[in-house]
Amino acid sequence: MNSLFAIGIVVLVAATVIGLLMSIAHLITRYTQKPANTQSDSDKDLPYECGLIGTPAQSSRIPSGYYLTAILFVLFDIEIIFLYPWAIAYRDFLSTGDGLGYLTAFIIFLLLFILGLFWEIRVKALNWK
Amino acid sequence: MTPFLFYTLSFLALYGALNTIFRKNPITCAMHLALTMVALAGLFFNIGAYFIAGVQLVVYAGAVMVLFVMVVMLFDNKQTSETKDNKHMAVKVFISVFMLGILSGVIPHSTGFTNKIVAPEVTPTKSLATLLFSDYVLFFEWIGVLLMIVAVGVVLLSRSEDS
Amino acid sequence: MGEDIFSSVINTVKIVIIFLFMVHMVPLLVWVERRASAFMQNRFGPNRVGPFGLTQLLADLVKFIFKEDFASSKTNKFYFYLAPVLAIIPVALAFGSLPLSSPIYIDSFQLFGYSLGPYLFEIRSFPMDVGIIFVFGVSSLAVYSLLLAGWSSGSKFSLLGALRASAQAISYELALSLSLLGVLILFNTFSFDQIIEMQNQSLNFQFFSKEIKINFLPNWGIFYQPLGALLLFVALFAEANRLPFDLPEAEAELVAGYHTEYGGIKIIIFYMGEYGHMLVASSLMVILYFGGYNLYPLLNEEILQSWLLPNFSLTATSLLTSLILFLCFFLKVLFFLWVFIWVRWTLPRFRYDQLMDLGWKTLLPWSLFNAIATAVVIWLVNWGNA
């Protein structure tokens, strides 16, 4: 069977099973629970906060460390994915007799990676506040 | 089998792309763009470019779109309803259709592709690797330098906002 | 489809069975976890509901279905209900691409007057030539369910928990991919079938143009990449949000993080996703480093076939071989699942900055070192035969 078609079937089966479970739960709720007390003026509607009621809504900004982590992840992910074809062809390269050249290309690329990473560690860019 | 898969994946990709443009909620736009990326990965898989499909999944749908969604979530809690400006809609539509026409008209004729499905050799990824690291190894190293420059630049830019 | 109806039907049934197998491992794992944690903490776990408490999870499932399915008015309902589904789909896809046993070969037979030809059914949901990149790719897609769950809950704590969980997941994905790079340099291929085949021989490697062959040990990846295996295992802990990287779900820290506002069956689905991640992680360790479904000197497809073939037909031999090798694989996976559970109830939780430091400043440099060392060592020992 074609791989993509099978992938589609897996996604459909997973979504169906999970959807079935959630639908059953929702239907049971609808027909056995009273609907009146879920509206916006009751306490049930507030977000859960360890028993306290209310908190200043827009008090703090979300720290910018998340943004930096995500961008650095994108960059290093791209670098690593560039190394994947090199890795699987490495042993074939070696048998052609020019292994040192390919190894050097790899080491230089990884040295650039390491340089970037260690600079960031040294500049304390990756420390969490 | 393959035409059915092609049309389904293309429909998903187009649906995702059109929803990215026309919806109001930014998270919806970002998620539909992620759907487009996944559908593109499926299309690459369909023509036999397995490694490129994997790269599309890992880098585009798994890293870049996650970054987009995180940023949209970080900045979303201030504005939840957008104002839709309909002022020069005819001009915008015309320019979009014009660009689409250029892209779909020029690119096929300039690269000379046919609409045959690419027949993969025994290990297409290994031949990609051989080509990349023998003829184009210098560009490979320049990509490393570019990524390092971006990494340093991002850290410096985010520093200058804080302090 | 180019094949006939019989094989399509069998393949579809196989896909459903593999998915249900993954879903049904969850109650078993939760039972093991609750009993094992009780044993380690010197108390009894659930032991009343069934024999040894085995049907406790069934009772829990029924209880959770009957709980109220509540979504507050501040939530974005579409994404609120979508996030649990998105938690299961990447895990199901990743588990479907792993080969669980040797392929079943069915000889030609007659059914209702049709003569159906010989078939070869592989024991996995879909054939995948680039297995490693595919598993890595769909693991990256698992971050979306964390983000959507936290954002759509409408509460600031959930959003913060989601951001922390996703930052942790993406940081450890880098260490994961670099450890996989070591495996790729060693095994030279993306496909899991070929990796299992290459581990199916006795330990042999070149050492400066002498060939060293140790006959009683199989050619497992763990003998070549011990550091890489350890790094991959630690990174897989963090990907599955298991203790000690448990902070996104910790109760004292952010209530329950990104799934605070979820109740009833939806949170069971999130747990299904987490245990599914554990299952995929254990299977990945077994396939990459411990030989997959083979056990070279003892159990192997050829060895089993040479025992069984004089007594059974070709189809029955293949079915029995597949079953025995699947049990072998399953026992190895159970060992790694036990290690996951054992570590959870032994180690204390990491603080968030300790966690991020571990990911970026310890695991990533060591993975780089592992990749470089693997490449250099392979170059050195191949130096003699150019």
Distance from CA of B53 to the nearest CA of C (A): 9
For residue B3, give how far its alpha carbon lies from the nearest alpha carbon of chain C (Å).
11
pLDDT at C252 over 70: no
Say how many residues make up chain C.
386
Q: What is the distance between the terminal CA atoms of chain A, rounded to a whole angstrom? A: 52
Mutate: best of A1, A2, A3, A4, partner B, most B CBs <10 A: A4
CATH number at residue B28: 1.20.120.1200
Cβ pair C126, C308 in contact under 8 A: no
**B74-81 contacts at long range (C-beta below 8 A, 24 or more positions apart):** B74/A62, B74/A66, B74/A67, B74/C163, B76/B26, B76/B27, B76/C151, B77/A58, B77/C159, B80/B25, B81/B24
pLDDT of residue B37: 95
Cα of B158 vs its chain's centroid, Å: 25
Tokens (6 digits) for A58? 């827009």
Does the pLDDT at position A47 exceed 70? no
Q: What is the mean pLDDT of residues B151-156?
A: 88
pLDDT band at C328 (very low <50, low <70, confident <90, very high): very high
Q: Which of B137, B149, B163 is the best substitution to test chain A (most A C-beta atoms within 10 A)?
A: B137
B51 to chain C: closest CA residue: C130
Residue B92 lies in a domain: no
- Is A73–C3 a contact, with Cβ atoms under 8 angstroms apart? no
Interface test with C, best of A2, A4, A17 (most C CBs within 10 A): A17
- CA-to-CA distance for A32 and A37, rounded, in angstroms? 13
Best B50, B74, B75, B131 member to test A by mutation, with max A CBs in 10 Å, is B74
**Mean pLDDT, rounded, for A7-36:** 87
In the predicted model, is pLDDT for residue B80 greater than 60? no
* Predicted model pTM: 0.89
CB contact (8 A) between residue A112 and residue B129: no
With CB atoms and an 8 Å threshold, state whether A24 touches C65: yes
- Residue C230's pLDDT is what? 94
Separation in Å, CA of B93 to nearest CA in chain A: 33
Side-chain-facing half-sphere of C385: CA atoms under 13 Å = 13
Considering only B59-73, B74-88, C270-284, which range has the smallest mean pLDDT?
B74-88
Percent of all residues in chain A with a pLDDT value above 90, rounded to a whole number: 21
What's the one-letter identity of residue C271? Y
Q: Which of A13, A28, A87 sits opposite C185 (nearest CB)?
A: A87
Maximum distance among all alpha carbons in chain C?
72
State how many domains chain B has. Answer: 2
Please report the DSSP string for A14-36 in residue order.
HHHHHHHHHHHHHHHHHHHS-SG
What secondary structure letter does DSSP report for B59? I
Distances in Å between the Cα of A95 and the Cα atoms of B67, B126, C205, C259 are 41, 14, 15, 53
Please report how many Cα atoms fall inside a 13 Å half-sphere around the Cα of residue C274, on the Cβ side. 24
Residue of C nearest to A62 (CA): C160
Q: Which residues contact B53 (CB under 8 A, 6 or more apart)?
A: B41, B42, B44, B45, C130
User: Which residues have C-beta within 8 Å of that of residue C128, sequence separation ≥ 6?
Assistant: A3, C97, C134, C191, C192
C53/A3 Cα distance (integer angstroms): 40
Using CB atoms, pick whichever of C76, C144, C166 lies closest to residue B34: C144
A122 touches chain C (CB under 8 A): no
Looking at the predicted structure, is the pLDDT value of residue A7 above 80?
Answer: yes
List of chain C residues whose C-beta atoms are within 8 Å of the C-beta of residue A90: 185, 188, 375, 378
B53 assigned to some structural domain: yes
- Distance (Å) from the C-alpha of residue C142 to the closest C-alpha of chain B? 9
pLDDT tier at C114, thresholds 50, 70, 90: confident
Scanning C188-264, the segments in alpha helix (DSSP H) are 192-198, 221-224, 226-239, 251-254
End-to-end CA distance of chain B: 58
Out of A30-44, B65-79, B105-119, C326-340, least confident range: B105-119
State the pLDDT at residue C116: 74
Asked if residue B126 and residue B53 are part of one domain, the reply reads no
Q: Higher pLDDT residue, C47 or C229?
A: C229
Closest partner residue to A113 (CB to CB) among B1, B133, B144 is B144
Determine, yes or no, domain membership for B5.
yes
Output the average pLDDT for chain B: 81
DSSP string, C89-115: HHHHHHHHTS--SPPEEE--EEETTEE
The model's confidence at residue B122, banded by pLDDT at 50, 70 and 90, is very low
Structural domain boundaries, residue B21: 1-82
Task: Kindly determine whether residue A67 and residue B147, on different chains, have CB atoms separated by under 8 Å.
Answer: no
- Residue found under tokens 């830019």: B157
Query: Could you give the count of Cα atoms lying within 13 Å of C117 in the half-sphere of its Cβ?
Result: 4
- Domain ranges in chain A are 1-33, 63-129
Does A83 lie at the interface with C, CB-CB under 8 angstroms?
yes
